Amino acid sequence: MNQLAGGFHDPAIQSAHAFRALLEAMARPGRIHRVGGALPPAPLSVAAGVTVLTLADATTPLHLAGAADCAAVRDWIAFHTGAPLAGPDQAQFALGTWQALEPVDRFPVGDPAYPDRSATLIVEMARLDQDGPRLTGPGIHKTARLSLPETDALRANRALFPLGFDLILTCGDRLAALPRTTRVEES
């Protein structure tokens, strides 16, 4: 696959639909949304590619971790978004599996004056289902459940609020989000 292929064929419409799905996912943690329109190079999922095409640009430093840090992905991102690649401590977005992103406390969590200067981790998952730990908090009616890569690090992240990172979980053509406001409890 060459880096020219796999982007949105109708960028204005497809990025608007993808942005809406990402906003809905952040606003309603635990809900899974289907997205499409991108065909990124392996090992990226469709949902990870859509997320990168929608959120990254030449002003958003991106960290690639593990298998995602390969020539095909770097070239695809450079051509389609122009996002500069960065180390974990400078990243506004980070992309990889949970294992590749660990330890997650190396990513920016903002500071008290600017809590928005934190990272969003785009975590590639082997499965993404509405089962697993119980989620509560803003945007969740009573409770929700979502398969998560880990609970301890996410509880520690929530304890930092209003600081902390946000998560976008991707698997195939599906995505869900876990903002730092969400409380994570074992079943």
Instruction: Tell me, yes or no, whether 6 lies in a domain.
Output: no
What's the CATH number where 155 sits?
Answer: 3.40.50.11310
Count the Cβ atoms, other than its own, within 10 Å of residue 42. Answer: 11
Angle at which helices 46-55 and 71-80 pack, to 10 degrees?
40
Q: Does residue 4 sit within a domain? A: no
- What proportion of the chain, given as a percentage, has pLDDT over 70? 98
Tell whether 5 is covered by a domain: no
Which residues, in sequence order, are CB contacts of 34 under 8 Å at separation 6+?
A: 21, 173, 174
186 pLDDT band, cuts 50/70/90, is confident
Q: What pLDDT, in 10s, does the model give residues 146-173?
A: 999 999 999 999 999 999 999 999 999 9
Tell me, yes or no, whether 160 lies in a domain: yes
Compute how many other C-beta atoms are within 10 angstroms of the C-beta atom of residue 180. 22
When divided into structural domains, the chain yields a total of 1
Asked if the structure places residue 124 within a domain, the reply is: yes
- Average pLDDT for the chain: 95
Nearest CA among 60, 91, 98 for reference residue 78: 60
Question: Where in the sequence is the domain holding 111, given as residue range(s)?
Answer: 11-185
Binned at pLDDT 50, 70 and 90, residue 1 comes out as low
Burial class of 53 by CB neighbour count within 10 A (0 to 12, 13 to 18, 19+) = buried
pTM of the model: 0.96
pLDDT, tens only, 119-141: 999 999 999 999 999 999 999 99
Number of alpha helices (DSSP H) and beta strands (DSSP E) in the chain: 5, 11
Q: Is pLDDT of 12 > 80?
A: yes
Q: Is residue 45 part of a domain?
A: yes
